[in-house]
Chain A
Amino acid sequence: MLFFLCFALFLIGLYCVLIKKNLLKIVMGIIIMEYSVNLFLIMVGYKAGAVAPIVTAGVEKANFVDPLPQALVITAIVIGIATLALMVALCMRVYDRYKTFDITKIRRLRG
């Protein structure tokens, strides 16, 4: 069930990218998609009732959560921030040139 909700979040992001006309809303759509995928990765590694995977004396055989997806998500978040920064910078430059955020008016390239 949770996985379906996560997928629904992904689809909301995709809808936002495809339908919205405002540059910033498109950027938000991409971020929503990215975060839904991050959430998915975290849920893959989650186990109910498990503890953090730190091996100390006495807890060698405890029930650990999978640490790898968490490491992946941290990397993915950092990459996402780099993309977001570049995208927002690009939006600002586009606004300087066209004086609008509306993609139906930003259409000099054709064909």
Chain B
Amino acid sequence: MNLVPLFMAIPLGAAFIVVLLGRFKEAVSDAVAVIVSLILTILSFVLIIPLSQEGIFVYRMGRWIPPWGINLVLDGLSLLMLIIINLVAFLAILYSVSYMKKFTAKSTYYGLFLLMVAGMNGVVLTGDFFNLFVFLEIAAIASYALVAFGVEAEELEASFKYMVMGSVASVLILFSIGLIYSLTGSLNMAHVGTILQGQNGNLISFSMILFLAGFGLKAAIMPFHAWLPDAHPSAPAPISAMLSGVLIKALGVYVILRIFFNVFGMNIQLSWIFMILGCLSMVGGGLLAIKQEDFKRLLAYSSISQIGLIMLGVGCGNYWGILGALFHLFNHASFKALLFLNSGAVEYSTGTRELKKMGGLSKAMPFTGATSTIGSLSISGIPPLNGFWSKLFIIMGLVYAGRYVLAVITILVSVLTLAYYLKVQRYAFFGKLGEGLEKVKEVPPLMCASMVALAIICVGAGIFFYPIMKTILEPAVRVLQEGVGYSNLILGG
């Protein structure tokens, strides 16, 4: 399908145009950024139907036949990620139009934002290891700059920490790609997959460990999580929503899934590693979240916990576990983006992020209050919202795999999640109006619009979970369950 390269070409081109146009008039750069992200969202939805008929699209750059040329691969899993990335990016850009007014250099902001989107789209579409690295760096460098966008002391400190961790991760990934190349003589993922099939060796294990450490750092899985609670809260709110909702999944979880399921092939040891890491970050993130007083910091720790849940679901390896994990990937993008936008709206109106200084905000800010309640209930897994279904599927997967202890831990962590989100609701939105907050007003309509849209996605995906499961999740699950058979589809087709 010839539409596939547009996902990188449009945002890359627009990123430079937006900065140029912004020199003349700022409103033009707003319009361009919104239109471009809207086009990308529509494109990703348009591809659902042709993909369901064909199963897989392989686009060969410059008509070179794989394994020689670079190829772009669009299959069920990539499409799921594309929908998540572009949908959340569109709503975050819509939100930024009003929110970013207090910052200078808005057009530069859009430029970096679109570069980040281009990088993430590239990561999920590419079928080539080195290309993956290049797009990963585009997205990562743009995100380092965006975290430091406010250039206050805390933001610079957080960005530096994030950058050091991110660069170490990138070096580990490049090292591993070099090892893979020296072992197989190829960089095409499908070709490497066929060569490595049935092989075993110390160097292969070493490159797997390097990949796990590198992408684990990007995904902020528990032993590698230290940068996330600093970096995500320090960014402007729409960027926090992008980082927590999308970036750690596109750069971390997606690539881990793709490499370990489709290239190396899953086995029982890897599945245990995923489950142990997942369980560790799920419990650790939850326990650390509960004592936070800063709204955004609490959300950041909660992201670590939810990423752990996703890894746990993937680790159990059967249909329900993977389905639940991928559905949770989608759901987490919707409600975590929503909650970060809420925290941004609260900061915009009241000027504070300390939960203790807020109170009674749902009277003053009805839209923010209502949407944040939906987000909180959804992430804690209250039926019939979307978080309930994905957690249910993951628990079903764990039970079918015979991991009863982990299933019980998941349920307990779910209760813990409910506890800290009730704390948010109790301190920030319910009760008496806090001191000095008498003049608080609701945020501008565009910010409300994107929060309401995300809340509608949360409710809608909960009620209509069955059609979503059939149209976009099942093809993605099939890709992962095929495992290393993925290579034959690409090299054969």
Ordered by A's residue number, 18 sampled pairs between the chains whose C-beta atoms are within 8 Å are A14-B168, A17-B164, A17-B168, A26-B164, A30-B171, A41-B174, A69-B181, A76-B133, A79-B137, A86-B163, A87-B160, A90-B163, A94-B160, A97-B156, A109-B157, A109-B161, A111-B292, A111-B294
Q: How far is the CA of A50 from the CA of B167 in the complex (A)?
A: 34
Docked-complex contact B153 and A44, CB < 8 angstroms:
no
Cβ-defined contact, B141 with A33, below 8 A: no
Q: Which of B143-151, B375-383, B402-410 contacts A (4 or more CB under 8 A)?
A: B143-151
Given contacts A17-B164, A82-B141, 13 further A-B contacts (CB under 8 A): A10-B175, A34-B174, A44-B182, A69-B178, A72-B130, A75-B130, A79-B141, A83-B167, A87-B167, A94-B153, A94-B160, A98-B153, A111-B292
A15 to B216, CA, bound (A): 20
A5: chain B residues at CB < 8 Å are none
* Chain A contacts for B234, CB-based, 8 A: 109
Asked whether B157 lies within 8 Å of A94 as measured between CB atoms, the reply is yes
Q: Mark each residue of chain A from 74 to 111: 1 if its CB lies under 8 Å from any CB of chain B, else 0.
A: 01100100110011001101100110000000111101
Contacts of B292 in A (CB 8 A): 111
Interface string of A47-89 (1 = CB under 8 A from B): 0000000000000000000001100100110010011001100
Tell whether, in the assembled complex, residue B134 and residue A108 are in contact, meaning their CB atoms are under 8 Å apart.
Answer: no
Say whether, besides A75-B134, A86-B145, A87-B167, A40 and B230 are in contact (CB < 8 Å): no
**Residue contact A79 to B181, C-beta cutoff 8 Å:** no
Q: In the bound complex, do residue B141 and residue A94 qualify as a contact, i.e. CB atoms below 8 Å apart?
A: no
Q: Is A37 an interface residue (CB 8 A)?
A: yes
B156 and A40 form a contact (CB under 8 A): no
B137 — which chain A residues lie within 8 A by C-beta?
Answer: 79, 82-83
A97 to B134: give the CA distance in the assembly, Å.
32
Q: How far is the CA of A108 from the CA of B152 in the complex (A)?
A: 11
Known A23-B160, A108-B154: A76·B181 in contact at CB below 8 Å: no
The count of A-to-B residue pairs whose CB atoms sit within 8 angstroms is: 88
Shortest distance from the beta carbon of B297 to any chain A beta carbon, whole Å: 7
Which residues of chain B in 77-93 are interfacial with respect to chain A, using CB atoms and an 8 Å cutoff?
none
Interface centre among B158, B181, B234 (most CB of A within 10 A): B181
Asked if B174 and A94 make an inter-chain contact with CB atoms under 8 angstroms apart, the answer reads no
Give me the 6 closest cross-chain CB pairs, A-B, nearest first: A97-B153, A44-B182, A33-B171, A41-B178, A79-B137, A30-B167
Let me know if A90 and B148 touch, CB within 8 A.
yes
Give the docked Cα–Cα distance between A86 and B144 (Å): 8
| Residues B158 and A109 in contact, CB atoms below 8 Å apart | yes
Q: In this assembly, does B229 line the interface, its C-beta being within 8 Å of a C-beta of chain A? A: yes
Partner of A109, one of B141, B154, B174: B154
With a cutoff of 8 Å between Cβ atoms, the chain A residues found around residue B170 in the complex are 83
Q: Which residues of A contact B130 (CB under 8 A)?
A: 72, 75
Question: Which residue of the partner chain B has the closest CB to A75?
Answer: B134
Is B342 interfacial (CB-CB < 8 Å)?
no
Category for how many chain A residues contact B: 20 to 34
**A111-B229 in contact (CB<8A):** yes
CB within 8 A of A108: which of B157, B167, B171, B182? Answer: B157
In the assembled complex, the Cα of A37 lies from the Cα of B214 at a distance in Å of 14
Closest to B148 in A: A90
Of all chain B residues, which has the CB nearest A66? B185
Known contacts A10-B175, A37-B175, A83-B167; decide if A111 and B297 are in contact (CB<8 Å): yes
Residues 405-451 of B at the A interface (beta carbon under 8 Å): none
Q: Does B29 lie at the interface of the complex (its beta carbon under 8 Å from any beta carbon of A)?
A: no
The answer to whether A87 and B163 touch across the interface, beta carbons within 8 angstroms, is: yes
A90 touches B167 (CB 8 A): no
Minimum Cβ distance to chain B for residue A6 (Å): 10
**A94–B156 contact, CB under 8 A?**
yes
Determine if B303 is an interface residue (Cβ-Cβ < 8 Å).
Answer: no
| Cα-based distance from A8 to B144 in the complex (angstroms) | 29
Q: Is B159 an interface residue (CB 8 A)?
A: yes
In the complex the two chains form, is A44's CB within 8 Å of B178's CB?
A: yes
In angstroms, Cα B171 to Cα A101, docked, is 24
Asked whether, in the complex, the Cβ of B141 is within 8 Å of the Cβ of A86, the reply is: yes
A8 to chain B, nearest CB (A): 14
Docked pose: A63 CA to B141 CA in angstroms: 39
Residues on B with C-beta less than 8 A from A30 are: 164, 167-168, 171
- A49–B284 alpha-carbon span in the complex (Å): 55
Cβ contacts under 8 Å, B148 to chain A: 90, 93
> Taking the nearest CB of chain B, how far is it from the CB of A88, in angstroms?
11
Greatest chain B CB density within 10 A among A13, A23, A90, A106 is at A90
Interchain CA distance A48-B133 in the complex, whole Å = 29
| Measured CA separation A43–B234 after assembly (Å) | 41
Contact check: which of A10, A72, A93 meets B156 at CB < 8 Å? Answer: A93
